Structure formats: C-alpha cells, structure tokens
A and B are shown apart, each in its own frame.
Chain A
Amino acid sequence: EAQVTQNPRYLITVTGKKLTVTCSQNMNHEYMSWYRQDPGLGLRQIYYSMNVEVTDKGDVPEGYKVSRKEKRNFPLILESPSPNQTSLYFCASSWRDPKNIQYFGAGTRLSVL
C-alpha cells in the first residue's frame, strides 16, 4: 500500500529539548516536503527536497532543520523547540516535483510547553 508514514503522531515536549519527527514514503518519490498547519494560517511549507541531498527552504524554515540522506526518508529536526512551534505537522511526497499529486502523512501534533 502506497503511504507516507510519520512518527510520532502526538508529542508533548518542553522548550529547548531537541526532537526529531520522522517521515518515510514507500512510493520511490523524489519530492518530499514538510508543512505546518495552524488555525487561520493554513498550510505553510517549512522545507522541501527535490531529491537525495537536495533540500531548500520553504516559507517558514526558521527553527527547523531537515536532511535527505535516503530517498525514502525526510526527517524534520527541531534543535531547540519553542512554544511558537506548537502546531500540526504534515509530511508529503510526490513524483518528481510539486505539480504531481502530493501524498500526505497522517500528521504529527506537537505541543511545546
């Protein structure tokens, strides 16, 4: 079954404690991206990757890091989380580039206290 898997689904942490949200896809997609979704602000892209070792900033990259060492995995790293990073996060993947259908993960709800 084609899918994008994110873990964890729910996470409560404290300010400054480094965390990683994992994302894995089994469709051999080249394009992957991370979004955050906040009420009234919609989906905002954090980072995207066109392929292995190729990443670039989206609209709201501050406070986040990513890496793309393997085609299937695209982890999101918060090195020093702050309360304003409390949000619902989605990983997505698509074939080649964003003009193709994007497949989304189930989401990670993060609370930073």
Chain B
Amino acid sequence: EDQVTQSPEALRLQEGESSSLNCSYTVSGLRGLFWYRQDPGKGPEFLFTLYSAGEEKEKERLKATLTKKESFLHITAPKPEDSATYLCAVHAGNNRKLIWGLGTSLAVNP
C-alpha cells in the first residue's frame, strides 16, 4: 500500500538553529514529491516539487532533497516566521490523487 510518513511530528527550534524534516515514502512509480507549507487556519501553500532521486531545490532558507526512499526539507538558520506545519505529498503511478503525510509542526523561538 502506498504510504507517506513524516517525522518528527513536531519540532521546536531556536532562531538560527538549523535542522531537517523527513518525509519517507513507499509508493510504486514515483511521479513527483511535493512540499507544502501550512499556516494555522489557512490552506497549504506550495513550496517545491521533486521528480527524481538526487534532485535538489532551494528557496531562501529552505532546501529540499530527494532519494529513492525519502525526502528531506533542510531549514538553515530559521526565523520565527518559518513557524508552520510542513506537509509532504506524493504523486505515484496512475493515481489521480496525491498521498499526503500528516505533517511536521515547526515552531521557531526568537
């Protein structure tokens, strides 16, 4: 069964303390892995799409990487405004939908 697991569930960092969020997946025929950011009470907002192992993408303090089993979202020198829930989703095979992880809730203290 296709599955997406995110860890940790919650993470608390001090401002400037770099860390990584993990998204591991078990799917047949990966067609794309997505990272979204969700602020409380708002809809998810797209961050990155990764298509093949070895691919990396960056945006400001965020960098997403992909292997054949997992993806990491690296956060370098985070700021309080990076506090949010980060969601990972996978599109696989001929599915007409995404498979979503439960998210990692990130809190960055000033």
Residue ranges of A at the interface with B (Cβ–Cβ < 8 Å): 4, 33, 40-45, 48, 50, 56, 58-59, 88, 90, 92, 97-99, 101-107, 109
Contacts and interface: CB of A to CB of B under 8 A. Distances in A.
Contact of A42 (B45, B95, B103): B103
B43 A105 contact: yes
B87 interface: yes
Contact of A50 (B31, B96, B103): B96
Contacts of B45: 104
A13 to B, nearest CB: 19
Interface residues of B, number: 21
B98 A104 contact: no
Contacts, number: 53
B87 to A, nearest CB: 7
Contacts of B96: 48, 50, 56, 97-98
Interface of B: 31-32, 34, 36, 41-46, 49, 87, 91, 95-98, 100-103
Given A41-B102, A48-B96, A101-B46, 17 more contacts: A4-B43, A42-B87, A42-B101, A43-B44, A43-B100, A45-B98, A58-B97, A90-B44, A98-B96, A98-B97, A99-B32, A102-B34, A102-B46, A103-B46, A104-B43, A106-B43, A107-B41
B51 to A, nearest CB: 9
Contacts of B49: 101
A41 B49 CA distance: 23
A33 B97 contact: yes
A56 B95 CA distance: 12
Contacts of A50: 96
A40 B6 CA distance: 12
B22 to A, nearest CB: 16
A50 B94 CA distance: 13
Among B43, B87, B96, chain A packs the most CB atoms within 10 A around the CB of B43
Task: Give the 10 A-B residue pairs with the shortest CB-CB distance, closest first.
Answer: A104-B43, A42-B102, A99-B91, A43-B100, A101-B46, A99-B32, A98-B98, A104-B44, A90-B43, A45-B97
Contacts of B100: 42-44
